[in-house]
């Protein structure tokens, strides 16, 4: 057998036979995957619609224009760039377009649930080329917006870039917008994790409070691995040139030709996100996450912030005296896939943190609901207890049960 196809088949089987609880992962539809695997990947299209550097881009121009039109409608924004290759390049392009080197930025720290591109110091583009001020959470893992305002007044950043990868509560975009306005800063809302929930109406949209919105197009949006940068009415009011600055930063500033096959996948995902079924999907993601959280807390586990309002939670394993690495590896043994994750004020190193992160977007796509969440919670509790007691005799039985559930919900 062809080795490439063999590896693809192996990964397909792995996905089928395991329960994906990583909140940043999901399953794209067959139509999205067909678009990404299409002949569109063969075409070079440097530039923008009707302003290309290569001939033969009539079809691509129409494709990109339709994708932009659809994104504008879904998110209620004034301008969209659909060319960024992924979320990190999208955020880098915004910073590159709106700031000068050594300008000051402000964001939520990685250990408190933020993202590397939001100013993580020393090792990232955002932390090395700009002066970065980071804020965290209180001991319970909750953002204190009064403290954020106080820090912003002291530091006077030119740009706030705010978004979450491991924060279980809904961000107060109105409050963040007011803080940005108070110090004359841009507010960039990174909704990569929750874009699908925003479209479904179960997570607050930042469209009235932020100047720029960035997002990946997979995760809860269920598209391919691409990204979009969106400009709001508020953004254009603050800076009439903001759209041009961002477009120039994406191309030619940060990258070459767009991946047209990805653009097609994004368009297909946006079309699917317009449906009533997608809204129900978003509602079910949050409902299932809350069911799972309730069961885990009832079983004695500790959640950062005490619970969840969205698609993810973070379990603090310090009361069990366990590491996130140990527990995530044990869960993988039985076919439950999560990721290790830092918790607020975590003294453990990043590669062996004190928590795990769990989310329901992928399982909800497979059709699982309340009954399955309760069963999965019981398995997680059993695995944690087995690791704690150093007795893994029950893991084989759990793995078999996990496999049986997976068969009932094919990809």
Q: Return the bridge partners of 355, or none.
A: 316, 341
C-beta of residue 54 within 8 angstroms of C-beta of residue 274: no
Residues recognised as catalytic: 44, 46, 190, 216, 219, 225
CB within 8 Å of 154: residues ≥ 6 apart: none
CB atoms within 10 A of CB 41: 13
Q: From 374, 315, 304, select the one nearest 339 (Cα to Cα).
A: 315
Each of the 411 residues of the chain gets a pLDDT tens digit; together they read 699 999 999 999 999 999 999 999 999 999 999 999 999 999 999 999 999 999 999 999 999 999 999 999 999 999 999 999 999 999 999 999 999 999 999 999 888 888 888 888 888 888 899 999 999 999 889 999 999 999 999 999 999 999 999 999 999 999 999 999 999 999 999 999 999 999 999 999 999 999 999 999 999 999 999 999 999 999 999 999 999 999 999 999 999 999 999 999 999 999 999 999 999 999 999 999 999 999 999 999 999 999 999 999 999 999 999 999 999 999 999 999 999 999 988 888 888 999 999 999 999 999 999 999 999 999 999 999 999 998 888 899 999 999 999 999 999
Can you list the domains of the chain with their CATH numbers? 30-273 (3.40.640.10), 280-408 (3.90.1150.10)
Report how far apart the first and last C-alpha atoms of the chain are (Å, whole number): 23
Long-range CB contacts for residues 9-15, cutoff 8 Å, separation at least 24: 12/411, 15/411
At 207 the three-state DSSP class reads coil
CB within 8 Å of 55: residues ≥ 6 apart: none
CA distance 406 to 376: 11
Q: Is 50 left (phi over 0), alpha (psi -120 to 50) or beta?
A: left
Q: Taking the model in full, what pTM does it have?
A: 0.96
Tokens of 150: 């106080």
């Amino acid at each position: 057998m062809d080795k490439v196809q063999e590896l693809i088949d192996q990964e397909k089987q792995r996905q089928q036979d395991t329960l994906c609880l990583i909140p940043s992962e999901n399953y794209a539809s067959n139509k999205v995957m067909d678009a990404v695997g299409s002949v569109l990947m063969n075409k070079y299209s440097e530039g923008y619609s009707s302003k290309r550097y290569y001939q033969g881009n009539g079809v691509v121009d129409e494709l990109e224009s339709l994708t932009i039109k659809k994104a504008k409608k879904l998110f209620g924004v004034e301008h969209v760039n659909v060319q960024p290759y992924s979320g990190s390049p999208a955020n880098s392009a915004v910073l590159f377009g709106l700031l000068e080197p050594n300008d000051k930025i402000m964001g939520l720290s990685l250990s408190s649930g933020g993202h590397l591109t939001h100013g993580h110091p020393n090792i990232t583009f955002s932390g090395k080329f700009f002066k970065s001020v980071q804020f965290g959470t209180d001991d319970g893992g909750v953002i204190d917006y009064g403290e954020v305002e106080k820090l912003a007044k002291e530091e006077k950043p030119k740009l706030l870039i705010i978004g979450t990868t491991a924060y279980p509560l809904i961000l107060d975009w109105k409050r963040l917008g007011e803080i940005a306005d108070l110090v004359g800063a841009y507010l960039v809302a990174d909704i990569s994790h929750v874009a699908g929930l925003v479209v479904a109406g179960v997570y607050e949209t930042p469209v009235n409070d932020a100047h720029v919105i960035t997002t990946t197009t997979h995760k809860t949006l269920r598209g391919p691995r691409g990204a979009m940068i969106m400009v709001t009415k508020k953004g254009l009011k603050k800076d009439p040139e903001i759209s041009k600055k961002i477009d120039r930063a994406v191309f030619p500033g940060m990258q070459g030709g767009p991946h047209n096959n990805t653009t097609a996948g994004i368009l297909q995902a946006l079309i699917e996100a317009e449906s009533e079924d997608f809204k129900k999907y978003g509602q079910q993601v949050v409902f299932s996450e809350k069911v799972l959280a309730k069961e885990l807390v009832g079983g004695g586990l500790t959640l950062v912030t005490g619970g969840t309002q969205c698609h993810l939670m973070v379990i603090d394993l310090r009361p069990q005296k366990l590491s996130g690495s140990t527990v995530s590896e044990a869960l993988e043994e039985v076919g439950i896939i999560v990721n290790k994750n830092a918790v607020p004020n975590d003294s453990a190193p990043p590669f062996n943190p004190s928590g795990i992160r769990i989310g329901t977007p992928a399982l909800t796509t497979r059709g699982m609901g309340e009954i399955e969440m309760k069963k999965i919670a019981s398995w997680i509790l059993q695995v944690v207890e087995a690791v704690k007691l150093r007795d893994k005799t029950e893991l084989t039985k759990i793995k078999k049960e996990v496999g049986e559930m997976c068969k009932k919900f094919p990809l």
